[in-house]
């Protein structure tokens, strides 16, 4: 058990570090950029989140459910719908009460920033659980060297793909008026849930294995809602020719897709 915890903490800690490094890109950009550049950042973030929802969450949810002898699509569709409903309720209750009533005290775009941070953080939870689960299963089968190699590869893949995700949080926050340090802090903090839930998964491996397809799809639903309801409309708002922002979205999608396929 101790060995599983150590490896899970190391693997998810690497993923958390890569998220922080991605968030650190905020120090490379000045806040006083053209307004159009802000839309490019939103478009890039949307592309990253769409690809992450498909390759990092939905496809693994189906595969994991099928490995349990289930159909796959009911669990994935159910989890996805629950994720969408969760963010809708979050938006209509907490966001409306907190951000609209305190609009004068909070920076512009605070509601959108909160939803973005929440969605990416939720997405990191099942990823950390998947890494923890893979190391737990590898340590339960020490005679299978491929199991441990697969766990290491999964941790490396998730860690590397977390780099653009950290940037996808911090860069839009910076453009919305957050200081570079605050934008970096929020981007980096979104990855802390990975080692936390990775270690907890090792301690409750049997229960998590059953719930993982639902959790993966839940995070995908939350992310896709934020993309469709918040990021894409903001990206294309007041754009006569949205070719640049569209290319930014497609670039984010392609980059995340390549990382997921090459490293997954």
**Is residue 248 situated within a structural domain?**
yes
**Is residue 31 situated within a structural domain?**
no
Q: Is the pLDDT of residue 10 over 70?
A: yes
- Domain carrying residue 230: 2-24+43-263
Give the pTM: 0.68
Rg, Å, the chain Cα set: 18
Q: Is the pLDDT of residue 80 over 90?
A: yes
* Portion of the chain with pLDDT greater than 70, in percent: 81
Which residue has tokens 């979205």? 249
**Is residue 37 situated within a structural domain?**
no
**Is residue 141 situated within a structural domain?**
yes
Contact present, 99 and 114 (Cβ < 8 Å): yes
**Is residue 258 situated within a structural domain?**
yes
**Is residue 29 situated within a structural domain?**
no
The CA distance from 10 to 8, in Å, is 5
The CA distance from 157 to 136, in Å, is 18
| The total number of structural domains that make up the chain | 1
237 C-beta neighbours (distance < 10 Å), count: 11
Better-scored residue on pLDDT, 76 or 129: 76
User: So what's the pLDDT on residue 263?
Assistant: 61
* pLDDT per position as a tens digit, 110-146: 666 777 777 777 777 777 877 777 777 677 667 767 6
Contact present, 220 and 59 (Cβ < 8 Å): no
C-alpha distances in angstroms, 163 versus 20, 21, 148, 188, 254?
Answer: 8, 6, 24, 10, 14
First to last CA, the chain: 26
**Is residue 219 situated within a structural domain?**
yes
**Is residue 169 situated within a structural domain?**
yes
């Amino acid at each position: 058990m101790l060995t599983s915890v150590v490896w899970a903490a190391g693997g998810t800690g690497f993923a958390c570090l890569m998220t922080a490094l991605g968030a650190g890109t905020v120090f490379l950009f000045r806040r006083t950029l053209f307004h159009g550049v802000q839309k490019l950042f939103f478009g890039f973030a949307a592309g990253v989140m769409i690809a992450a929802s498909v390759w990092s969450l939905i496809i693994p949810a189906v595969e994991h459910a099928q490995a349990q002898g289930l159909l796959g699509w009911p669990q994935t569709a159910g989890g996805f719908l629950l994720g969408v409903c969760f963010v809708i309720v979050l938006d209509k209750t907490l966001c409306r009460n907190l951000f609209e009533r305190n609009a004068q005290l909070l920076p512009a775009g605070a509601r959108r920033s909160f939803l973005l941070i929440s969605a990416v953080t939720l997405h990191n939870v099942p990823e950390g659980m998947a890494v923890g689960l893979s190391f737990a299963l590898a340590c339960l089968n020490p005679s299978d060297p491929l199991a441990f190699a697969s766990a290491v590869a999964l941790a490396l893949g998730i860690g590397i793909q977390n780099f653009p995700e950290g940037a996808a949080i911090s860069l839009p926050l910076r453009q919305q008026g957050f200081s570079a340090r605050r934008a970096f802090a929020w981007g980096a903090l979104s990855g802390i849930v990975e080692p936390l839930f990775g270690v907890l998964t090792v301690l409750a491996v049997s229960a998590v294995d059953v719930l993982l397809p639902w959790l993966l799809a839940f995070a995908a639903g939350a992310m896709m809602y934020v993309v469709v309801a918040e990021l894409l409309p903001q990206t294309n708002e007041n754009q006569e020719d949205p070719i640049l922002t569209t290319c930014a979205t497609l670039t984010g999608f392609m980059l995340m897709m390549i990382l997921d396929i090459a490293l997954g």
